[in-house]
Chain A
Amino acid sequence: MSEAVIVGGVRTPFIKAAGLLNDTHAPELGRLVVRELLYRLDLDPAEVDELIAGNVASPADAANVARVIALRAGIPKDRVAHSVHRNCASGMESVTQAIDRINSGQAESVVALGVDSMSNIPVLWTKQFAEKLFNLSKAKSLGKKLSAIWKIKLRDLAPQIGLKLGLTDPVTGLMMGDTADKLAREFKISREEQDEFALQSHRKASAALKEGRLNDETMTLYPEPHSKPVVQDDGPREGQTMKALGKLRPYFDRKWGTVTIGNSCQVTDGAVALMIMSAERAKKLGLEPLGRIRGYAYAGCDPSRMGLGPVYASAKVLKKTDMSIDQMELIEINEAFASQVLACVSGFENPPDGCGTHEGADRLGPIDPLRLNVNGGAIALGHPVGATGGRLILTMLNELKRRDQKIGLASLCIGGGQGGAVVIESMAA
């Protein structure tokens, strides 16, 4: 059995939705980042066996967005590509699947991609309207056509916002923000604590950008229509204050809630690509491994408390890798919501009910705040849903290398009630 290693990675800047990348669709983001990755590694596209893309918004014109990206990026036609969807962990799923493909000997080099253009989530017509349009197209005579038109009412024209639909859990009927409010209530996390966490995220991310710590992993884009360079993430607000955050009204539970758009992740466009190879192939091509995934785990949990997913998944992966939380030199918990991360922090310390069903709860424990999300998280950098999993891994590999450290844990919560976690080992010399 060959061992999978990560030999390189690059990402686009994460850009607020409906902004600079408004005209750059997911397949284009994916193509750009894959080409850049191949160029940076001086890799012939023919060296790629497979491409796996994590993507949530599923562009209507590219149902299997992975295949579209692979072909547009010049990966030979006889290779394979598939898209994966595990909601917020789609970008992590593509990495873990790539590793499985290599470890099981089915591929030797795989591009693991995470990509989402939240700017381009389609707006949908209601089913009633679609039916009426269909009837109109079937109508043959003028009379029938007129009567079909007559049946279309103004209220039919109200669109359904795809983004809103996507962020609502159909099983519980709760929006993702509602689950965050629920955790805030249950774990007694105040508005101030959440805002303070959000502020820190902005401060850490701004510092990272300022010091150029994210430059290596970020490529420059020249998007349509003006081709103006987009050099870095535009989410982090250097001058963020508690006062400004405090002014925001609760967004989900408008009356009594504590979750605002200020202490939630930003809606963002972006893509990440990682090159994963068998150790032999990497050696043959003269590529230095950045690191490897020691183990990964996904865990299920209550959909209405989906934010706790990282706790369960981390316990599972620590057991799998036979490690404990205090061995983790860096920890990433994706910042879907400040309340959700804070609930997880408390959950790591006192594993909540349900966690016991997964063995490994004993390997959890208090988290050193200095190890957590050291370069800020999605509250500042944004959360292009399908891309985030890849970013957590890429950023952690770079940060471990920078700090000359070895082991880290990256985790995220998953809409619908799951968690994902990977234990990352840096192999950088």
Chain B
Amino acid sequence: MSHTWHYGEPVDGILHVRIEMEDRPVNVLSRAALQELSELVNYIGQTTEISAVLFKSGKSGNFFAGADVTELKDLKGEQAVLEISRFGQRIFQDLEDLKVTTIALIAGSCVGGGLEFAMSCNYRIVANDRKTLLALPEVKLGLIPGWGGTVRMPRLIGLIDSLPMILTGKMINGFQARSRGLVHDVVPAEALDNVGVQIAKAVRDARNIKAVEQRLFRPKKQPLWKRTLAKTTFIKKYALKKAEQEVQSKAHGHYPAPIVAINTLRSNLGQSEAVAFKNESTAISQLGENPVTVECMRLFFLQEGSKKPPASLKVPIRPDSVNNVAVIGAGAMGAGIAMLTARKGIWTRIKDLNPEFVGNGMRTIRGILKKDVSRRRLSKLEATQVLDHLSPTTDYRGLKNADIVIEAILEDVEIKRKLFRELAEATGPETVLATNTSSLLVSEIAKDIPHPERIVGLHFFNPPHKMPLVEIIKTHQTSPEALAKTIALVQRIGKTMVVVGDCAGFLVNRLLSPYMNEAGFLLLEVDDPMEIEKAAIEFGMPMGPLELTDLVGIDVAAHVAENMHAAYGDRMQPAPLWQRLKQLRGQNEAADTRLLIKSGKKKRINPLVAGAIASMKRDARISTAVPTKDAIIERLVYPIINEAARCLDENIVEQPEDVDLAMVFGTGFAPFRGGPMRYADSIGFDNVVSSLEKYAAQHSRLTPSDALRNLAAQGPGITDPFRDQSDRAVA
């Protein structure tokens, strides 16, 4: 009795197989499921009256979610990975070698091992809905496809089109898949069965299969010169070389999987498929135990886990509890947030003070949508549907039925409090009032506002439509109901969330603050400012702290630094350079105080800033030794860890995993290192403490906190690579 592959007697020689795992929300290719498939393939091969097999999922919105990642993470050793790869390869090969016609009828996501399975069938017909997406995302887990994907994908769509699929895990919809030749046709989901049967019969009765295929599918052919060119080894080698250069320039050698994939594809050129399959297995087995793979998988599980609400929340999350939101403030943040909610079919009222501001917001939104339409991320009709859900206004009418009102106005506590007092009047009793503040305390804004229990923080990062993380801030007054509704909204717009306590900077900006600030101190010590940038990028940050400061804007950065200083005392003392640059700006409004400016393709220090640094160095007569690269990295990163330990101690977050998740998705903190806490655990919290002690002799702000010492005392294992997230309450 199979638990995944369900079928009855063949009808008219056609066997209908329903793929439906009984005890899982989605279908995955677990070892057991593979074993059952192997038995099914045997049965088909031995049953003469079967002329065709139709595979279709019984799950809504999912065909196959790929390999069972929970099983993958438990594989120990190269041999185990090699074995499971060969096992799957053999079964899929048997499937492909069947004499009968095999047809995959794909509705819903079909990714990883699922797509490798589908590629082993003779025909693939996909549904034309939005949920039907095809991808080989193994690389995102630090792996490569291991069940023939690196062989069959290039065979079906050519090497050049395969590269973005295999190297970046690019997701494509049915139409994109058809134009690449990955699938044979795109039809409405409810037509899949009928189309499958018709194909099966047409192929069975065909005298000339090629002619039948031509008639049924009318495949689009590329011009002859293109086809010929794409087949030449020279072009293939050139494409691989180009891809390798791109990967190197983006990943700085931190991520082995894409490189391994490129090498595998290269070594497969001109080889028989049997050899190619072997190459694939060998390659993936080398990756299985790679620490980067472990961290990628851990982050995958953390992200999955973050979709669930925190265990402490005893109120159920109802996805349908948010259908109506209002966004106050049509600036870049407000407009971006309103676009996000409208995009998910939530009726969105967007308000600002006057028609000009609202008009600017609408223009921002239309600009984003237009770009998405031109990049084909959105159809014209879908863009219209987004706009249909938006209603601009300059007054408070229409807020009574709002489920959540999100404030995104000026960062001024008095103005915000005035607004919240007005909102308390204008909204219904159930309406949650959320502030998108980044630098003020939510409880400060909520003070003396009627019904503070319905006030939360909802901190989006800029630009909201691109940044994956949202911080949800609960004050000591926030009600569980308000929190549940806010979580429902964040889930609905598909963001990764972390629930944090109310403190200055919340989690992410509080941890970033010492990092950016320390860069300001370091600028006065290093010989070449670009060494700071290089060190950070080499560590694995998406950009250096100086570029990040420019992105935020030096004025804002200096302001935030002062706020942090006020909130946390001298350990967050602003770098004197920030003050100096602020003064320069005060003397001359137009002064360009960006830290870095472009020169050619590279960035270099702004001469104005360099001048300021030089004069400050002279005045201070700094004579300390120039810090080494390692010292730069430690002084940038360890304060993050130090502050994170305090956050844990103060219960700003519930567990170290929250820190890692927030920093990786909120700031791009070196994902392959697993986040600050994971990184500290891997090098030892005690080493972080002793290094900080060393620096603290000269810079007291770097003194390790008691919280950090306590973690060090606990020894390694603070962060389990795969801590069971199931203790989190399931909605």
Contacts and interface: CB of A to CB of B under 8 A. Distances in A.
B401 interface: yes
A36 B358 CA distance: 15
B22 interface: no
A74 to B, nearest CB: 6
A227 B392 CA distance: 11
A72 interface: yes
Interface string A108-130: 00000000000000000000000
Contact of A74 (B347, B349, B358, B362): B347
A39 interface: yes
Contacts of B349: 39
B355 A224 contact: no
Contact of B391 (A39, A225, A228, A231): A39
A337 to B, nearest CB: 34
Contact of B400 (A35, A42, A220, A226): A42
Given A74-B347, A222-B358, A40 B391 contact: no
A216 B332 CA distance: 29
A229 interface: yes
Interface in A325-341: none
Nearest to A219: B393
Contacts of B248: none
Nearest to A44: B401
A73 B359 CA distance: 20
Contact of A220 (B360, B392, B398, B399): B392
A31 interface: yes
Where chain B touches its partner, the secondary structure class is: mixed
A45 to B, nearest CB: 8
Interface in B357-389: 358-360, 362-363, 366, 388-389
A31 B393 contact: no
B394 A220 contact: yes
Contacts of A74: 347, 388-389
A73 B394 CA distance: 20
A72 B359 CA distance: 21
Nearest to A224: B366
Interface in B78-126: none
Interface in A55-77: 72-74
Given A222-B358, A222-B359, A231-B355, A42 B392 contact: no
B448 interface: no
Interface residues of A, number: 21
A73 B392 CA distance: 14
Interface residues of B, number: 21
**Residue among B347, B397, B398, B400 having the largest count of chain A Cβ atoms under 10 Å:** B398
B398 A39 contact: yes
Contacts of A225: 366
B145 to A, nearest CB: 42
B388 A222 contact: no
A40 B393 CA distance: 10
B362 A222 contact: yes
Nearest to A231: B355
A224 B397 CA distance: 24
Q: Which of A35, A222, A224 has the largest number of chain B CB atoms within 10 A? A: A222
B359 to A, nearest CB: 5
Contacts of B399: 42
Given A36-B391, A220-B355, A227 B398 contact: no
B304 interface: no
Nearest to A221: B392
Interface string A173-200: 0000000000000000000000000000
Contacts of B389: 74
A229 B391 contact: no
A229 B397 contact: no
B398 A40 contact: yes
A222 B398 contact: no
B356 interface: yes
Interface string B314-354: 00000000000000000000000000000000010100000
Contacts of B347: 74
A31 B362 CA distance: 16
B398 A229 contact: no
A278 B360 CA distance: 40
A228 B401 CA distance: 28
Nearest to A74: B347
Q: Which of A224, A226, A227 has the most CB of B within 10 A?
A: A227
B330 to A, nearest CB: 10
Contacts of B400: 42
Nearest to A225: B366
Contacts of A32: 391
Nearest to B370: A225
A228 B359 CA distance: 5
Contact of B356 (A40, A44, A229): A229
A227 B389 CA distance: 16
Contact of B397 (A40, A72, A228): A40
A31 B397 contact: no
Contacts of B355: 220, 222, 229, 231
A227 B391 contact: no
Given A227-B360, A227-B362, A229-B355, A222 B392 contact: yes
B690 to A, nearest CB: 58
Contact of A229 (B359, B366, B401): B359
Contacts of B401: 42, 44
A303 B392 CA distance: 43
Interface string B396-425: 011111000000000000000000000000
A288 to B, nearest CB: 14
Contacts of A228: 359
A42 B360 contact: no
A204 B74 CA distance: 82
A73 B520 CA distance: 52
A34 B401 CA distance: 16
A36 B395 CA distance: 11
Contact of B388 (A38, A40, A72, A226): A72
A171 B366 CA distance: 46
Nearest to A40: B397
B370 to A, nearest CB: 9
A399 B279 CA distance: 83
A133 to B, nearest CB: 25
A229 B391 CA distance: 13
A73 B388 CA distance: 7
A35 B347 CA distance: 10
Contacts of A38: 398
Contacts of A227: 359-360, 362-363, 366
17 contacts: A31-B388, A36-B391, A36-B393, A39-B397, A42-B400, A74-B388, A220-B358, A220-B393, A220-B394, A222-B355, A222-B358, A222-B359, A222-B362, A226-B363, A227-B363, A227-B366, A229-B356
The list of the 4 closest CB pairs from A to B, nearest first, reads A39-B398, A229-B355, A227-B363, A42-B400
Given A73-B388, A225-B366, 5 more contacts: A42-B398, A220-B355, A220-B358, A222-B362, A231-B355
Interface of B: 347, 349, 355-356, 358-360, 362-363, 366, 388-389, 391-394, 397-401
